[in-house]
Amino acid sequence: SANTGSYCKARKRLPEGVILQLARDSGQRLSEQTPSEWSWKGRRVKLIDGSTVSMPDTLDNQAIYPQQRSQKPGLGFPLARILGIFDLASGALVTLGIGPYGGKETGESALLRQQASCFDSDDVALADSYHGSYWTLASFDLRGVAYVGRQHPLRKTDFRRGQRLGREDHIVAWHK
């Protein structure tokens, strides 16, 4: 049937935690079954990407995922921040973090800290410039995880220092 009403009603009764756990379990199993030949130079590459999603305007969602402060109460929809970590070889979602859009410790960095246990020693983390912070690089380095990503746009670089690899591409050392 083209009518999706029954599916939508059943989906509303499924707790969010169950969906998260099913996504994590199935993604990790798929990732573990990926042939080792699909890895990059013998290392598993995991992609980090975050976004925001609009939530249905229900009282439960409003309590967990409040609206942006710029919206008037009762107008608009609550927003959730999500962060997914994907296995590059299989394309599987290895883990997923969901949190409120605003407030203390709700950014992509906080969600990454919550999901960081999915990285194993010798993994390669591939991320956008949002995650190029000292904390991220230092914590990955301590665990033997290599980090590849663009530099955060607010961090200025002196291209006269460091090891040059190519145009606007070089290795630098950050000191705390």
For 3-40, the pLDDT digits (tens) are: 778 877 777 777 777 877 888 888 889 888 989 899 89
Please give the pLDDT value at position 24. Answer: 83
Non-local (6+) Cβ contacts of 173 within 8 A are 162
Q: Give me the residues paired with residue 147 across strands.
A: 125
Categorize the per-residue pLDDT at 46 as very low, low, confident or very high, splitting at 50, 70 and 90. Answer: very high
Please give the pLDDT value at position 103. Answer: 72
What span, in angstroms and rounded, lies between the C-alpha atoms of 131 and 166?
A: 22
| Range ranked top by mean pLDDT from 46-55, 148-157, 165-174 | 46-55
Pick the residue with more confidence: 156 or 43?
Answer: 43
Please give the pLDDT value at position 71. Answer: 75
pTM for the model: 0.79
Judge whether residue 41 has pLDDT over 80.
yes
Please give the pLDDT value at position 144. Answer: 96
Tally Cβ neighbours within 10 Å of residue 99.
19
What span, in angstroms and rounded, lies between the C-alpha atoms of 21 and 19?
A: 6
Query: Which residue type is seen at 36?
Result: S
Judge whether residue 1 has pLDDT over 70.
no
pLDDT digits (tens, 9 = 90+) for 98-150: 888 877 777 888 899 998 899 999 999 999 888 888 888 889 999 999 999 88
